[in-house]
Amino acid sequence: MLLQIELNSLRETRAMEYVRRFAFGGAVTVLASLIAQKWGPVVGGMFLAFPGIFPPGLSLVESHKIEREKAEGKEGMQSARGEAAVEAAGASAGTLGLVAFAVVVWKGLPGHSLPVTLAEALGAWAVVSWCAWWVRERM
């Protein structure tokens, strides 16, 4: 299965949906910071991996698929929810990459510079996520 980039899919997202994503992302980031301020880094750190923007993102996948199916004259509800399930399965592979990212930052930060640690952590996220996705696709 080949990796493809489809820029056309960006046209499905309305301007308001981009604004909503930005607002959700900002709000979840502020929430995580406030929790860390109030209860300290041990509790606050867990919220760096809180799936706050996951539900609205999944809903967007579902609604875009319904619109595509409607444009083709189909009902599309069941297949749209199936596509949301596939998206969630992909996210579960991504969470293993998230674990790798966190481990690299945890072990790397005290002794290394932040830019180097972040670059290594992002690399670990990409490699582990892709490997987990690849294995999952073949199960």
Partner 1 sequence: MMDLLLRFVIGGAVVSAFAVLGDTVKPESLGGVFAAAPTVALATLVLTVRKDGAGYAAMEARSMVGGAVAFFAYACAVSFVLMRWRPKALATAGALLPVWFATAGAIWALWLRR
Q: Which of residues 58-117 bind partner 1 (CB under 8 A)?
A: 58-59, 61-62, 77-78, 80-99, 101-103, 105-107, 109-110, 114
Q: How many residues bind to partner 1 according to rule CB under 8 A?
A: 86
Q: What's the closest the beta carbon of residue 16 comes to partner 1, in angstroms?
A: 13
Distance CA 77, CA 85 (A): 12
The closest alpha carbon to 13, from 57, 71, 52, belongs to 57
Exactly one of 14, 51, 75, 135 binds partner 1 (CB under 8 A); that residue is: 51
Q: How far is CA 97 from CA 87, 102, 105, 118, in A?
A: 15, 9, 12, 14
Distance CA 139, CA 137 (A): 6
Q: What's the closest the beta carbon of residue 134 comes to partner 1, in angstroms?
A: 9
Residue 38 contacts partner 1 per CB under 8 A: no
